[in-house]
């Protein structure tokens, strides 16, 4: 859902689109797509619940963290620009502004606000624990409110997280 909302933002406001951040999210999204197919098979074998949610979100964000660490080590300056842009999307840009084009944006905006309140600081994309809280918060909202109507129409390169 996060990647879908970010991708929608890049499409709606192409003048502020950053190729480096878009490419990073696309690369991570492609890797997560394969992982998510395996997770979907696991879900079909055992009933989902909070413990299983945590295991899946943790595994997914561990995979994202591999990309974060790789970029931090190989391209530290490029990574800091990507991190700054992604943190801006998580903390400052009006994600709620996108809600008229992407139903998931409003839900994401609420979850991001709730997580920021829980941790009493701005979100940091590089902090795996922040992304885990966001993922679990989104799952909780989906369990309460049902899936996003547009979630099924998200392109493959813009996975769930």
Q: What is the pLDDT of residue 110?
A: 86
- Per-residue H/E/C for 90-152: HHCCCHHHHHHCCHHHHHHHHHHHHHHHHHCCCCCCCCHHHHHHHHHHHHHHHHHHCCCCCHH
Give, for all 161 residues of the chain, the pLDDT tens digit: 666 666 666 665 555 557 788 788 888 888 888 887 877 777 777 766 788 888 889 999 999 999 999 999 999 999 999 999 889 888 876 444 544 545 556 778 888 999 999 999 999 999 999 999 999 998 898 888 876 554 444 343 434 44
Q: What is the pLDDT of residue 114?
A: 94
């Amino acid at each position: 859902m996060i990647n879908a909302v970010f991708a929608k933002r890049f499409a709606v406001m192409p003048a502020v689109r950053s190729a480096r951040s878009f490419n990073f999210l696309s690369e991570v999204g492609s890797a997560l797509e394969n992982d998510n197919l395996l997770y979907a098979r696991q879900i079909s074998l055992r009933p989902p619940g909070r413990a299983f949610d945590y295991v899946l979100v943790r595994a997914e964000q561990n995979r994202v963290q591999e990309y974060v660490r790789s970029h931090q080590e190989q391209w530290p300056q490029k990574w800091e620009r990507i991190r700054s842009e992604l943190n801006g999307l998580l903390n400052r840009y009006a994600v709620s502004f996108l809600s008229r084009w992407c139903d998931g944006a409003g839900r994401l905006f609420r979850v991001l606000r709730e997580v920021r309140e829980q941790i009493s600081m701005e979100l940091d994309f590089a902090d795996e624990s922040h992304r885990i809280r966001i993922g679990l918060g989104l799952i909780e909202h989906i369990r309460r409110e049902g899936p996003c109507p547009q979630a099924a129409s998200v392109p493959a390169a813009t996975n769930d997280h």
